[in-house]
Structure 1
Amino acid sequence: MKKLLIVSLGIIGVILVLSPWILILFGRNQLHDHDIPQQEQLVDDREKHLILAIFPHPDDEVTVSGTLMKLKEEGHEIQMVCLTRGEKGKSSGIEDEVELAKLRTVEMKNAAELIGADHLHLLDYPDSGLEKVGLDSLKKIVGELIAEVDPDVLISYDSKVGLYGHPDHRLTGRAVEEVFLEKRGMDGFTPQEMFQVTLCKKQIKIALKLSSSFQKNYPEDPKQGLPRPDFSINTRKFFPRTLQVMQAHQTQQEVLKDLMPFHDKVPTWIYSRIFDREYFREVK
């Protein structure tokens, strides 16, 4: 009887030890397309680069924060652009847009500090109003920013969907992409590479089940969906700080649950091994 009890306890112990790793393997299989190559670096670190990440809203940087932290650790300079103050993001219940813009400005500054950005360019164009600004004007704004900063590498949203279909996202991605493709190689235009944050098919499938933003805005026609990633970047080491960046955006916690569902219920050491990479498409 005693031997049977010892064996039973041993089996229970093995199950308890293995169960988190089974969860991790299951999560990875559900979340990642394993035919997409994984890279350790976004750019070659033998030469130091100036990286300019351009997004429309405070909290958009969360999608690439692990990669930005990694680039900073590798010795590259990181500058970030936020085109709006996010005054329309009222998921917290704050209706006063002036107050919300002030709060989200502080949140964005805190997030940039956590990432280790060398400079944050906080602009004040209308949230959910970049279509009224217009593509030509937005391209001029982006072109002037690039001329001011002289970056080597650009990061932004894709030009087809804007991650999940937000018009500001899509228009920002399109403006940055068109400026890059039109001016690349010209005298005085310094960016040599551009990368767009995107998702793999499995992530899109899960997002369409869990995220109200995806369900509301993502194109029904798969051909109109996100561009296929060229590669992913391993960001596991920086996941705890990525959570801190998310938490810095206190007014947007309900929205950010869509980005990383159940992150507040699963231990970080497990979650970081499931959400351990960020996907990119290179603009060529």
Structure 2
Amino acid sequence: MRKFLIVSLGIILMIFLLAPWALIQYGRGKLHDLSIPQRDFLLAQSTSKKVLAIFPHPDDEVTVSGTILGLKELGHEVKLICLTRGEKGKSSGIEDEIQLARQRTLEMQNAAAILGVDSLILLDYPDSGLSGIGLDSLKKIVKQLISEIKPHVLLSYDSKVGLYGHSDHRLTGLAVQEVFLENKGTLDFTPSEMYQVTLCKNQIDVALQLSSGFQRNYPENPADGLPQPDFSVVTQPYFKTVLKVMKAHESQQKVLQDLMPFHDRIPSWIYSRIFDREYFAEVK
């Protein structure tokens, strides 16, 4: 009888210990494409480089926050630009756009401090109104910023969708991409690499089930969708800090819940091993 109890307890303990790891492996298989190459960091450790991340809104940097934290750990210099103050992002219920712009500015400054970026530049172009500026003017703005900062690497949204269909996202990605491709290798143009945030197919499928933003805006034709990732970057070691960055954007928690669904209902040590990478496409 005693031997039976010991064996039974041993089996129960094994199930208890192995079940979370089985859940992690299942979640990874459902959420990720494990055939896509994986890197520990976006850039190699050998030579310090200057990275310029250009996004339209405060909180867009959350999509690459794990990657930025890894870059900073290796000693790379990271500068972050937001083209707008996010005054149209009224999911918090704040209707006054001046008040919301001020709050989102403070939130972005707090998030940038948590990330440890070397500088944050907040501009005042109209939120959800970059199409009114026009692509040519937006490219001039981007090129001037690049000329002033002189980065080696550019980081932004993709030019086809803008992650989930927001016009400001797509136009920002398109402007940065066209400036890069038109000027790469020319005198005084310093960037030699550009990477765009993207998702693997499994992530897109999950987002279309859970995210209202994806459901409203994502193209129905797969050919018009996000670019295929070239690689992913490991972000699991930075998960707790990524959550702090996300939570710094207090006014946008309803929107950001789509980025990490159920993160507040699953233990972090499990969740961080499922949502453990960020995907990128290289612009060539």
Q: Name the TM-score class by shorter chain.
A: over 0.9
Letter aligned with residue 196 of structure 1 = Q
Q: Tell me which residue corresponds to 1:233.
A: 233
Gaps of 5+ in 1: none
Secondary structure of 1:219's match?
coil
Please say if 1:108 is aligned against 2:103: no
d(CA) in 1 for partners of 2:13, 2:92: 43
d(CA) in 2 for partners of 1:5, 1:48: 59
What TM-score results when the alignment is normalised by the length of structure 2?
0.98
Q: Tell me which residue corresponds to 2:214.
A: 214
Letter aligned with residue 146 of structure 1 = I
Percent identical residues = 67
d(CA) in 2 for partners of 1:69, 1:267: 22
Alignment deviations for residues 239-267 of structure 1 (CA, whole Å, 9 cap, x no partner)? 11000000000101111110010111111
Which stretch of the first structure deviates more once superposed, 220-229 or 32-41? 32-41
d(CA) in 2 for partners of 1:26, 1:46: 35
Secondary structure of 2:227's match?
coil
Shift in Å, 1:70: 0.5
Alignment deviations for residues 6-38 of structure 1 (CA, whole Å, 9 cap, x no partner)? 333322221111111011001100011011100
Letter aligned with residue 124 of structure 1 = D
Q: Tell me which residue corresponds to 1:70.
A: 70
Letter aligned with residue 209 of structure 1 = Q
d(CA) in 2 for partners of 1:266, 1:83: 34
Letter aligned with residue 177 of structure 1 = Q
Please say if 1:40 is aligned against 2:47: no
Letter aligned with residue 60 of structure 2 = D
d(CA) in 2 for partners of 1:263, 1:84: 28
Q: Tell me which residue corresponds to 2:16.
A: 16
Gaps of 5+ in 2: none
Secondary structure of 1:82's match?
strand
Letter aligned with residue 67 of structure 1 = T
Please say if 1:174 is aligned against 2:161: no
d(CA) in 1 for partners of 2:11, 2:86: 53
Aligned 1:2-13 pairs, distance under 5 A: 2-13=2-13
Aligned 1:1-284 pairs, distance under 5 A: 1-284=1-284
d(CA) in 1 for partners of 2:246, 2:42: 22
d(CA) in 2 for partners of 1:11, 1:250: 45
Letter aligned with residue 266 of structure 2 = V
d(CA) in 2 for partners of 1:35, 1:18: 24
Letter aligned with residue 93 of structure 1 = G
Alignment deviations for residues 194-225 of structure 1 (CA, whole Å, 9 cap, x no partner)? 00000000000000000000000000000000
d(CA) in 2 for partners of 1:98, 1:2: 72
Shift in Å, 1:48: 0.8
d(CA) in 2 for partners of 1:92, 1:10: 50
d(CA) in 2 for partners of 1:268, 1:124: 36
Secondary structure of 2:257's match?
helix
d(CA) in 2 for partners of 1:213, 1:12: 42
Matched residue pairs, number? 284
Letter aligned with residue 125 of structure 1 = Y
Letter aligned with residue 174 of structure 1 = L
Alignment deviations for residues 138-180 of structure 1 (CA, whole Å, 9 cap, x no partner)? 1011001001100000000000000000000000000000000
Secondary structure of 1:259's match?
coil
d(CA) in 2 for partners of 1:253, 1:13: 38
